[in-house]
Structure 1
Amino acid sequence: MQFLEIIEKTNAFLAEEFEIGVAKISPEAILKDTLELDSLDYIDLVVVIESNFNFKVQPEDFVGIITFQDFYEYVNTKVNAGELV
């Protein structure tokens, strides 16, 4: 999967799942603030990632994810490493 495909797919499911406009999602935007995530929302986010990209998410993976760009790079790394469920 190409990086641009990952970005487009990620933005689409995040906008739908968290009911925000795709226009609010930009690489430099803060993931937590933009999606208004609380601790339960992170669980939803993990489930959505795992179901859309077929890899297992570890809680510690989120430590370094601040912006959407960080998130895209994380997903890209996991998908292209073949760490599928």
Structure 2
Amino acid sequence: MKIEEIIDKVNEILVEEFEVDAEVIEADKNLKQTLDLDSLDYVDLVVIIESNFGVKLVEADFVGMITFQDFYNIINNKIAAKNA
């Protein structure tokens, strides 16, 4: 799966499942501030990402994550490691 496909799918999930305005999703924006999700929403996001991409996200994955691009990269790296 290419990074562009990951970005499109993640953005689609955010718009459909979390009612995020597609126009506010930009790669260099702060994910947490932009989404304004509570802790339960983040759990839902993790579950949805895991089921859509077949990868397991753990708390350590989120430590250095700041931007949307960081989030896309984490998913991309998990997929690449799974397929290696």
Tell me the TM-score normalised to structure 2 length: 0.91
**Deviation digits for residues 17-75 of structure 1, max 9, x if unmatched?**
11012111000111111111121111011111101101111112111111001001101
Q: Larger % of helix: which?
A: 2
Letter in 1 for 2:45: L
> Displacement, 1:7?
0.6
Map of 1:42 onto structure 2: 42
What is the CA–CA distance in structure 2 between the aligned matches of 1:42 and 1:20, rounded to whole Å? 14
Equivalent position amino acid for 2:82 in 1? G
1: CA distance between counterparts of 2:35 and 2:15?
A: 9
Aligned to 1:10: 10
Count of aligned pairs between the two proteins: 83
Deviating beyond 2 angstroms after TM superposition, the runs of 4 or more aligned structure 1 residues are none
Q: What CA distance in whole angstroms lies between the structure 1 residues aligned with 2:8 and 2:22?
A: 10
Uncovered stretches (5+) of structure 1, i.e. residues with no partner:
none
Q: Where does structure 2 lack aligned partners over 5 or more consecutive residues?
A: none
Local SS of the residue matching 1:20: coil
* Residue identity (%): 55
Normalising to structure 1: TM-score of the pair? 0.90
Q: CA RMSD in A?
A: 1.1
